[in-house]
Amino acid sequence: MSKVLIVAEHLDGKLNASTARCVTCAKDIKAESIDVLVLAASTDAIAADAAKIEGVTRVLTVARAENAHALAAICAPQIAAAAKNGYTHVLLPSTTFGKDVAPRAAALLGVVQVSDIMAVEGAHTFKRPIYAGNAIVTVEAPADALLVGTVRTASYAAAGAAANAAPIEALSLDVALPSHTRFVDLAQGKSDRPDLQAASRVVSGGRALGSSDAFKIIYSLADKLGAAVGASRAAVDAGYVPSDLQVGQTGKIIAPELYVAIGISGAIQHLTGIKDAGTIVAINKDAEAPIFEIADYGLVGDLFKIVPELEQAL
């Protein structure tokens, strides 16, 4: 039977929703047990949140001062040591955190890594996107070895809250941690708007806006909808908005309930990042734009006229 260990992602003492999405993936593996590993300087609050996720068997905590910041060089040896306690699978979210840590853990364990798991076909058989999402491939990992995988969080809904919290246990790991990597600083943008990767509604603008000043209509509509703001790569490259708003294969892959694409033609790398959205609305003056091929609702016209009218109607 499969035993899954999920490495919790957290920041500033708060558990990231990506952890609950990994639990949903683990359920599809039909695991005998699903444990969540919390590495932090202070684990209490994070572990308590993890214990409330439906499907979690137990939460294992490692409280060390070195775990105050999620450094791959520090986390990976601890994950590798914990994984040797009878686990068949180690899962991390396919976020910046997971993509940084998972390869190191897999290398230390001397095993394969399966990246961007989007569907489970069997305990060691998975579907994942390739060629910027243009194709889906089925991969099969060795059944006689531990598997390290990253979960494409946009493909899974977060597991709900459990009726009863799972037990929390302190895990003792005899691991010497490297000292060649150290935390210096974390610089992140501050915004009153919802986080782009967690938002249920997202309004994105493209190069058709023409300038950073014109992008104000995107912010205005987003505020009216209580939505996060995103952008195409073309808009980011043009300097209209900062790179942390980029949506797509080379930006952030998201799956909101509502995605509104304004002035975005729909390059394949952008479509890859939004294809799991619940409802896609496109506004573009070009009726032949690729975005209309996947949009649930499309409106052809001048965005500078349509968007203000839409906002007024709202």
Asked if 22 and 6 count as a contact pair (C-beta separation under 8 A), the reply is yes
Top pLDDT among 205 and 182 is at 205
Does position 132 have pLDDT exceeding 80, yes or no? no
Rounded to whole angstroms, the Cα distance separating 29 from 23 reads 10
CATH topology of 3-170 equal to that of 201-313? yes
Asked if 291 and 259 count as a contact pair (C-beta separation under 8 A), the reply is no
Top pLDDT among 241 and 133 is at 241
Architecture category of domain 201-313 in CATH: 3-Layer(aba) Sandwich (3.40)
Please state the domain extents for the chain.
3-170, 201-313
**pTM of the predicted protein model:** 0.83
Top pLDDT among 177 and 131 is at 177
**What pLDDT is attached to residue 197?**
82
Structure tokens at 88: 């068949």
Does position 268 have pLDDT exceeding 90, yes or no? no
As a CATH number, domain 3-170 is 3.40.50.620
Q: Which pLDDT band holds residue 189 (cuts at 50, 70, 90)?
A: low
Q: Which pLDDT band holds residue 214 (cuts at 50, 70, 90)?
A: very high
